[in-house]
């Protein structure tokens, strides 16, 4: 097995390059807009693909078989509207993602071996143990993808904004023309809260939020955490003394990444990372018992006496 990783945002501009010459596509995305794009591409090129999704303890999967089954847009004509459970609001049970992925691989292996699976929608509940199957509906002659062949997500004049997982956020990319974020901030400021740092602009009208990038996006490469009171021992907590300088070693976990010319590395420091990690009320009380929350201020020292630094080992490319 040869794995060729690509760190990229799947768009109508690059999907042809990234999926060139593939025989089957497995969906591991987290939003309907990208799935509609995959569906358009696979329908137009008669490539089978396997949809999969999970939230909470619930999972779903189905094969999309060209000329034999309904396509993804036949089953889901439009993205779900209204409040929906997401990985942030409902969480995702780790076993359900493994279950859905295993089922997707099983369907893909059948396709690659020349035995197309039955066009069935399979749902799983890893908590209750329920597994159900229903036959996919017939193809819709008025479906924009496989019926009318308009494939608007693939050939649309503008890319459809992507609804991100959680936070009512919409992410917009328009790489065909650079945006003047300062001018855009000036125009949007009378309408809502605007925050811009030259690299991205965040525009908020509760409960909606837009992140607008001039020509790219930020990717989280690695992360780590140290609970300060447990800096020396997990069994013997020691609270911090205000005003005293402490040294912390934060393991970002083993990772590797190719940084090409022009890439930048950003470091974010925060006193909380909820819901990824349990919230820290900063009161010193036992976790799970505090009913109050206090703000915490951190100072990062960077001097000869306190040489804060990041270790970035460089690995030579294999010959």
Tell me the Ramachandran region of residue 203: left when phi exceeds 0, alpha when psi lies from -120 to 50, beta otherwise: beta
CB of 63 within 8 A of CB of 151? no
Q: Distance between CA atoms of 301 and 74, rounded to whole angstroms?
A: 57
Could you tell me the end-to-end alpha-carbon distance of the chain, in angstroms, rounded to an integer?
Answer: 20
Q: Distance between CA atoms of 214 and 316, rounded to whole angstroms?
A: 32
CA dihedral (7, 13, 17, 22) in degrees, to 10, reads 90
Write the DSSP symbol of residue 7: -
**Tokens 């209204």 appear where?**
82
Q: Which of 42, 74, 87, 113 is catalytic?
A: 87
Is 74 a catalytic site residue? Answer: no
Q: 202 - beta bridge partners?
A: 195, 211
Catalytic annotation, residues: 87
């Amino acid at each position: 097995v040869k794995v060729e990783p690509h760190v990229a945002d799947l768009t109508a501009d690059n999907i042809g390059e990234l999926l060139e010459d593939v025989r089957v596509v497995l969906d591991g995305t987290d939003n309907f807009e990208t799935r509609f794009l995959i569906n358009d591409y696979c329908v137009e090129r008669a490539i089978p693909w396997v949809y999969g999704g999970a939230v909470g303890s619930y999972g779903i999967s189905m094969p999309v078989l060209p000329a034999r089954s309904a396509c993804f847009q036949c089953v889901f004509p439009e993205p779900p509207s209204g409040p929906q459970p997401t990985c942030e609001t409902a969480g995702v049970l780790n076993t359900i993602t493994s279950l859905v992925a295993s089922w997707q691989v099983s369907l893909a292996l059948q396709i690659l071996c020349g035995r197309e699976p039955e066009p069935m929608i399979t749902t799983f509940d890893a908590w209750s143990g329920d597994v159900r199957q229903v036959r996919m509906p017939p193809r819709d002659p008025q479906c924009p993808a496989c019926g009318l062949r308009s494939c608007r997500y693939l050939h649309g004049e503008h890319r459809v904004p992507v609804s991100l997982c959680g936070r009512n956020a919409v992410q917009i990319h328009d790489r065909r023309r650079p945006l003047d974020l300062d001018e855009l901030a000036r125009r949007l400021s009378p309408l809502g809260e605007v925050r811009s740092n030259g690299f991205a602009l965040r525009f908020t009208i509760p409960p909606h939020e837009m992140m607008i990038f001039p020509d790219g996006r930020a990717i989280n490469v690695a992360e780590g955490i140290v609970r300060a009171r447990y800096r020396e021992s997990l069994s013997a907590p020691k609270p911090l003394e205000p005003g005293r300088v402490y040294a912390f070693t934060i393991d970002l976990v083993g990772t590797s990444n190719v940084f090409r010319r022009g890439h930048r590395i950003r470091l974010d420091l925060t006193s909380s990372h909820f819901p990824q990690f349990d919230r820290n009320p900063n009161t010193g009380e036992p976790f799970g018992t505090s009913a109050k929350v206090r703000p915490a201020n951190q100072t990062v020292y960077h001097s000869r006496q306190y040489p804060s630094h990041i270790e970035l080992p460089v690995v030579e490319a294999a010959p």
